[in-house]
Structure 1
Amino acid sequence: MIPEFDKNAAFIWASYALGAVMIGGAILTVMIKARLAQAELARTQARTEEARRK
Structure 2
Amino acid sequence: MKRQLMNILACPVCKRTPLDLEVFKESDKGIEEGRLTCPQCRREYSISEGIPDMLPSEKK
TM-score interval for Structure 1 and Structure 2 normalised by the shorter chain: under 0.3
Tell me the TM-score normalized by structure 2: 0.16
Q: Which structure has more helix as a fraction of its residues?
A: 1
Higher RCO (CA 8 Å, separation ≥ 6 residues): 2
Larger radius of gyration: 1
